[in-house]
Structure 1
Amino acid sequence: MGSVQKRTYAKGKPPRYIARVRVGGKEISKSFAKLGDARDWIKLREGLSPTGARMDNRMLGVVLKAHIEQSATESTRGVRTHLLANLGDLEYRKLGDVTSDDVREWRTLLAEGRPWADGKPLSNSSIRTLTGTLSAVFNDGVAQGQLPRNPVTQVRRKSPSNQAVEPHQVLRLEQVRALIDSAEEPYATMIELGATSGLRAGEMAGLRVRSVDFDRRVVDVTEQADGHHKAYGWRPLKSEKSRRTIPLPNSTLDALRAHLERHDYEPHTPLFRAAQGGQWSSAHVAKVWRGVAADAGVRNHSWHSLRHFYASALIASGASVTVVQNRLGHASAAVTLAVYSHLWPGDSEKTRAVFDNLL
């Protein structure tokens, strides 16, 4: 419970009312000229509106379910639902009781193995997505005056935004083939295109028929799907650098040509359609991936793993940092190096090459 202390001053100066309250394990205070304002501030800080209705003592899981119901797009709903399924013990913590240490422990469980998912870890990209979504929930609480601060902010500040890809995160060629063989159309063609272009899920979903130029043998990436699974819609790419033209191999062009021969799509409409004829979304791409990957026996990988496969293949072929950056649509070469620098042949490989040629 908060308290108000009346502080008096020298003759002729009106008193002040110092309101104190403990929120999220930290005491905060503020000075007011009127007693009523001090009491109202305490109620607001404790999660009480001036009418006395509690707002911040709900469990995080309950708050997140409300956010899911209010989702504007299917993509947002999918990400929030994924977060709810992976909150672990945080689901039953009150919103105002969650600390930065709690968030750090939760992220460690996601990376090292989730007890609620048979010990399976999540990829770095998935953890970043879930952390950002969780942060948005707390930001909303701060904006409404329910919380003094966002406990996720400090955790995110200390985490690198672009983490290096570990070797086990790169799909092997036989795994890519297994995924294609296990998928039905059009997802099989989408996987092949993803492996030979490095497109993000939203970019893949946002391709139009006219995006593929068979004469130039390229795919033009200019927009992404807006996340509405049933309606057609597009939005700008992640950044201006994401706009790019990617050369495609003949095998992928043949697969795309066969795909279009099976359908009578208008040039301005989506290149790929979901089962009910709607546009794909990032969330739907991820959902179908899980089933296909299970059938193919490919574990601990996501759609983004196709992007790592593409990048590693470019690097293995001798592509420069600039080429890889441009093909992936990274904002800068620094981002490319931060993620993939260890995949370029280093001094160890040069040493081996010298003696392989000598002996």
Structure 2
Amino acid sequence: MTTRKRQAGDGSINAYTTQAGTRYRFETRLPVDPDNPDAGTKRIVRGGFTTRTEAATEGRRILTGTSTTTARKKGAATFGDFITKWLAGLDLAEITMAGYRKLARLHITPALGALTIPKVTPTTLAKHYRELEAHGRKDATRTGQALSANTVLKVHVLIGQMLEAAVSDNLVTRNAARHKDARPPSPKTVRAQKPEIHPWESEQVKAFLAWSKQAGDGRYWAWAVAVRTGARRGEVLGLQWRDLDQTASTISIRRSVVLVKDHQQGEHLAVKPPKSGKSRVIALDAATMKLLQEWKLQRASLSLELATPGAYVFGDLSNKPQHPERFSRQFQRSVEQCRRAQMQAAQKAAGEGRPADLTGLVPTVRLHDLRHTHATLLLQQGVSPKVIQERLGHANISITLDIYSHVLPTMQASAADLLAAVLA
């Protein structure tokens, strides 16, 4: 075997004999982590080339893709340049693209964009993630505060996709985000930071809906359908009359109205498939069917166009979907108005100058908590988690069990009591 010596750091090209004839291999040693000299080096070998020139070409590719110094000498593109190019080549749903661009613009490019791609090392990523966790928020009111572990994990996943594309383009030989030393937030940390859910009790649901109907709240039917179906906000807004099967007493969840916020293209509404990507059918009780029929008659009294199969059940008067965030704010206002009415009634019952009993006030919750209320009440009634998963449209039952784990101990106790009654 013969060896052609090269300058230090350039590696070597070796010739060796096989049954098929002479072949050449390129061999070098490179730092495991350029930012951490103590991490040592690793041996890189590429063989099977029929000519020395082919081996040398592969050697240059390896050195260019891994050596920061060499990359800079050759005027390598920055990570920010690559991010722009990578995003431009994607063909995904517009809301997904808007989310990717936002994460890149706020949490990736500012800190990492000026680096050459080989300089985006596991150590660099780990440091970046810790900085985001400490003060990574960029929104108007809380800039500089801690960024949630869930968002940091999304940043990590996106960087991993970008670097995987860089590997495919032969710009680097490894994906730094896949290395254990990148240290993104763990799933355990993400779960620990999840906000608590605040479902209403059945009496609180009844009190709110009774007030909403009596007060002439124009959104009463929407709030009732939301809590009775467990549908997501966008799914409620995406319902059309064609989705209601009066014979089978079911409603099909086929679409969702989402708000797309794009720094480049502005804000607009889009209609897309449900979050799971699949349609689902939800069985309705007689009271919910009657409620929807009443609402359809009201819509038809305004305009027959608002009761046609393709009309949105909860659309505006021009038959356009409602703005999701305004819809949520309307719910918040309805809850606050209900609470004020309850306070006034409690004060009147207590009498002038006496403290009112406010324990019966409906708690302040988010619109999404109506979905949690739907699931929690069903679980408390002993409905199978599998049925609830299907109604909510979760991709798998583990999601349902994870979100509503707070109800499971009660179900366990009820199951024990039932068994005891059977065996008594």
TM range (shorter): 0.5 to 0.7
Contact 1:231 1:278 in 2 (8 A): no
Q: How many residues align?
A: 338
Residues 1:149 and 2:175 aligned together: yes
Structure 2 CA distance for aligned equivalents of residues 340 and 316 of structure 1:
11
- TM-score, normalised to structure 2, is 0.55
2:25 is matched with 16
| Whole-angstrom CA distance in 2 between matches of 1:270 and 1:338 | 33
Within 2, Cα distance between the matches of 1:66 and 1:206?
A: 32
Q: 1:134 to 1:344 in 2, by over 3 A?
A: same
Displacement, 1:114? 4.8
1:135-166 Cα offsets, whole Å, 9 max, x none, are: 44444444434452161686689527995997
- Give the match for residue 230 of structure 2: 198
Aligned to 1:212: 244
2:422 — aligned with what?
none
Residue pair 2:137, 2:147 contacting (<8 A) in 1 also: yes
1-structure distance, mates of 2:366, 2:43: 44
Q: 1:54 aligns with which of 49, 73, 76?
A: 76
Match of 2:283 among 234, 240, 246: 246
Q: Where does structure 2 lack aligned partners over 5 or more consecutive residues?
A: 1-7, 35-40, 50-54, 261-266, 337-363, 419-424
What is the RMSD computed on CA atoms of the aligned residues? 5.7
Q: Shift of the alpha carbon at 1:36?
A: 2.6
Residue of structure 2 in register with 1:357 after alignment: none
Greater relative contact order (CA < 8 Å, ≥ 6 in sequence): 1
TM-score normalised by L of structure 1 = 0.63
Could you tell me how far apart the structure 2 residues matched to 1:129 and 1:28 are? 32
Is the 1:203–1:223 contact (alpha carbons within 8 Å) kept by the matching residues of 2?
yes
Structure 1: distance between partners of 2:102 and 2:190: 22
Decide which of 334, 344, 348 is 2:408's aligned counterpart.
Answer: 344
Cα distance in 2 for residues equivalent to 1:252 and 1:134: 48
Aligned to 1:74: 94
Aligned to 2:344: none
- Secondary structure, aligned partner of 2:229: coil
State the shift of 1:197 in Å. Answer: 1.8
Name the residue aligned to 1:42. Answer: 63
Q: 1:86 to 1:318 in 2, by over 3 A?
A: farther
Name the SS for the 2:394 alignment partner.
Answer: coil
* Residues 1:97 and 2:116 aligned together: no
Residue type of the alignment partner of 2:245: D
> Per-residue deviation at 1:211?
0.8
- Closer, same or farther in 2 for the Cα pair 1:77/1:347, shift >3 Å? closer
Structure 2 partner of 1:267: 309
Identity across the alignment (%): 15
Largest Rg, 1 or 2: 2
Matched to 1:168, the amino acid is E
2:11 aligns to what? 5
* Cα gap change, 1:46 to 1:168, in 2 (>3 Å): same
Structure-2 separation of matches of 1:122 and 1:109? 9
Structure 1: gaps (5+ residues)? 355-359
Alignment-mate amino acid for residue 76 of structure 2? R
Change (3 A) 1:84 1:275: farther
* Contact kept in structure 1, 2:9 and 2:28, CA below 8 Å: yes
Quick one: distance in 2 between partners of 1:131 and 1:275? 43
- Is 1:219–1:245's contact at 8 Å kept on the other side of the alignment? yes
Q: 1:291 to 1:279 in 2, by over 3 A?
A: closer
**2:25/2:45 contact within 8 Å kept:** no
Distance apart, 1:204 and its partner CA: 3.9
Cα distance in 1 for residues equivalent to 2:65 and 2:253: 48
Q: 1:317–1:290: structure 2 CA closer, same or farther, 3 Å change rule?
A: same
Cα distance in 1, alignment partners of residues 167 and 335 from structure 2:
43
Change over 3 Å in CA distance of 1:158–1:292 after alignment to 2 = same
String of CA shifts for 1:300-346, please: whole Å, max 9, x gaps.
98765443232112223442323322322334444432332331343
Partner of 2:349: none
**Partner residue in 1 for 2:376:** 312
Aligned counterparts of 2:28 and 2:164: Cα–Cα separation in 1: 24
How many angstroms apart in 2 are the aligned matches of 1:69 and 1:191? 41
Contact 2:258 2:269 in 1 (8 A): no
Residues in 1 aligned to 2:79 and 2:394: alpha-carbon distance in whole angstroms: 40
Question: Quick one: which amino acid aligns to residue 343 of structure 1?
Answer: V
Q: Secondary structure at the match of 2:10?
A: strand
Matched, 1:63 2:95: no
One-letter code aligned to 1:16: R
Kept in 1: contact 2:12–2:27 (CA 8 A): yes
